[in-house]
Structure 1
Amino acid sequence: MKIGFIGIGSMGAAMVPNLVKAGHQVSVWNRNLDAAKALEGVTVLTSPSAAFENDAVITMLSDDVAIRSVIIDSDILASARKDCIHIMMATISPAIVEELQELHRKAGIAYVAAPVLGVPAVAAKGELNILAAGDAKAIATVQPLFDALGEKTWHLGDDPKHANIAKIATNMMITLAIESMGEATALTESYGLKASDFVEVITNTVFASSSYKRYGGNIANNSYEPGFKLTLGLKDVNLALDAAKAKHAALPAAEIVRENMIQAVDRGLGSKDWSALAKVTRHRAGLDEGLA
């Protein structure tokens, strides 16, 4: 299959080689052309519109602002191949998904939402979990791409918003898990039990999951190299809170997490892994985390 790929951040750079390895012809566009040129076995595009000349286009841009700039304001769909399938794998708001759905409907272009669960290291192994929603026929057509990128595709119906709200809710839950581990290790350490010993117990018993193991290990070792940048995590918590507000729902725990993440960014931790929010949590609990 001929694939256009828009957005070569850390996730895109980890995903593209698996598509190439699976035998697909991949052409890529990125604002920073050097990032695209660093990938082997791909054709580098000079404009994002050229990506829509392929059988399918995967978009993995960072946020709503980037999506609006590259996809919406540019009127990129006007010149797209009519049989092209657009796969939106970015984590974006339900509001902009509705806008994208309408634009694709008017242009006669199939639109599939397929955000992913996993960090770049997981993507590089082709072990992502893919949350797919949209037209069933279009999803079936691009399933070989999902098979190259992930270990499982979760089909969430024909409304693309379902995939995006599932991704937003999942990321919100991860931040709540990080918050809880930050508070829990602050409690254990106040009684002399090392965070590493406590984290080893919980990640092998009641919370034996990859997220708890990964981020609990970061907290125990006070090591927060990305992974997934805290600024992007804050963006996703804001998406969750905005989505809840649109439905008149309250997310009080997420409000606390957002406050701590904002403080972490203000203290220069924005480029660290999002589990660095635990440094603020632990500092507020009375531990010396080296924060001003």
Structure 2
Amino acid sequence: MKIGFIGLGLMGRPMAAHLIDAGHDLFINRVKPVSQFLVEKGATACDTAKAVAEAADIIITIVPDTPDVETVLFGDNGVAEGLAEGKLVIDMSSISPVETKTFAERIAEKGCGYLDAPVSGGEVGAKNAALTIMVGGSDEDFARGEPLFAAMGKTITHVGPVGDGQTAKVANQIIVGLTIEAVAEGLLFAKKAGADPAKVREALMGGFAGSTIMKIHGERMIAETFDPGFRIRLHRKDLALAINAAREIGLSLPNTASTEQLMNAAIARGDGDRDHSALIRTLAALAGL
């Protein structure tokens, strides 16, 4: 298929590469030295998002935040200007479920389909084509997008109509953020009490406390290797999405709010571009460690 791909960041680059490897014709935008290898693999560089949309039948976006998606889709020389009836837009960013529905309505006015398909799995999942992909949209549009998701991910779930993919991703980020905070507190408790955190982690991996986050992020916390991964700054953005959506539906998320504040403190300390496992550094500072 002719695929447009906009958003060649830490996650987007390997995802785009997998689509090329699967045999699709790829059209990309904003090629930098770090993403030049995609052109060498066969992708076609376009000057604007509009040009990408004109060349492709399905256009994928994966950019940092809600305003970024709006700009890419509806700004000057944006995707919407290059759409023709029957094309499909797939947004794989993690953004507001509410705004997602508005974007889908505006794209529908062009006679085009829309899927929200945020991902989980981080840079490792993107490189290994093992992402978890949560999809919102119609059955027909999901059927068109599913072969592309299969090239980039391992667990693909059609959650429901437009917006439900983003709702699932927000729920994911709540659980991941709070679990990272819990693992950090547990390991700091072990250290402050005089035990070896590495040995404590090893013991806990065999019980109910064992988890992917204990395995991967716990190891990063102990080794103090905090290269992203997934940046604290971006996870804080996702928790803000959760809190704002919860306010609209009248839901209290007290621990999500407290974890967001810890991430605010981490950003203030200069850790915003470290992996989210680096949240332990802020908690350690509070503990005097």
Q: TM-score range by the shorter chain?
A: over 0.9
Equivalent in 112, 116, 135 of residue 115 of structure 2: 112
Task: Give 1:128's aligned amino acid.
Answer: L
1:74-117 deviations in Å (ceiling 9; x for gaps): 36424302121111100000121121021012111100111111
How many pairs are equivalent? 285
SS in 2 for 1:23: coil
1:49-95 deviations in Å (ceiling 9; x for gaps): 12212121110011112112221233642430212111110000012
Equivalent residue number for residue 36 of structure 2: 37
- The answer to whether the 8 A contact 1:186-1:287 is kept is no
Question: Structure 2 CA distance, aligned partners of 1:144 and 1:56?
Answer: 12
- The answer to whether the 8 A contact 1:14-1:121 is kept is no
Equivalent in 237, 240, 249 of residue 239 of structure 2: 237
Question: Structure 2 CA distance, aligned partners of 1:114 and 1:267?
Answer: 32
Question: Structure 2 CA distance, aligned partners of 1:197 and 1:287?
Answer: 22
User: Cα distance 1:142–1:88, how it changes in 2: closer, same or farther (>3 A)?
Assistant: same
Equivalent residue number for residue 20 of structure 1: 20
Kindly state the Cα deviation for residue 12 of structure 1 after the two structures are TM-superposed: 0.4
Question: Structure 2 CA distance, aligned partners of 1:50 and 1:25?
Answer: 14
SS in 1 for 2:163: helix
Kindly state the Cα deviation for residue 136 of structure 1 after the two structures are TM-superposed: 0.6
Equivalent in 122, 131, 136 of residue 133 of structure 1: 136
SS in 2 for 1:268: coil
Equivalent residue number for residue 53 of structure 2: 52
Task: Give 1:153's aligned amino acid.
Answer: I
1:217-240 deviations in Å (ceiling 9; x for gaps): 111222211101111111111111
- The answer to whether the 8 A contact 2:173-2:239 is kept is yes
Unaligned runs of 5+ in 1: none
- The answer to whether the 8 A contact 2:233-2:273 is kept is yes
1:153-188 deviations in Å (ceiling 9; x for gaps): 11111x221110110111121110111111111221
State whether structure 2 residue 5 is matched by structure 1 residue 5: yes
Equivalent in 160, 163, 166 of residue 161 of structure 1: 163
Question: Structure 1 CA distance, aligned partners of 2:130 and 2:269?
Answer: 34
Equivalent residue number for residue 278 of structure 1: 280
Question: Structure 2 CA distance, aligned partners of 1:234 and 1:175?
Answer: 9
SS in 2 for 1:4: strand
Q: Once superposed, which parts of structure 1, at least 4 consecutive aligned residues long, lie more than 2 Å away?
A: 32-38, 72-76, 201-205, 207-212
Question: Structure 2 CA distance, aligned partners of 1:29 and 1:52?
Answer: 10
Unaligned runs of 5+ in 2: none
SS in 2 for 1:148: helix
- The answer to whether the 8 A contact 1:29-1:36 is kept is no
- The answer to whether the 8 A contact 1:134-1:160 is kept is yes
Question: Structure 2 CA distance, aligned partners of 1:160 and 1:276?
Answer: 33
TM-score (norm 2): 0.94
Question: Structure 1 CA distance, aligned partners of 2:90 and 2:193?
Answer: 50
- The answer to whether the 8 A contact 2:50-2:81 is kept is no
Equivalent residue number for residue 255 of structure 1: 257
Task: Give 2:178's aligned amino acid.
Answer: L
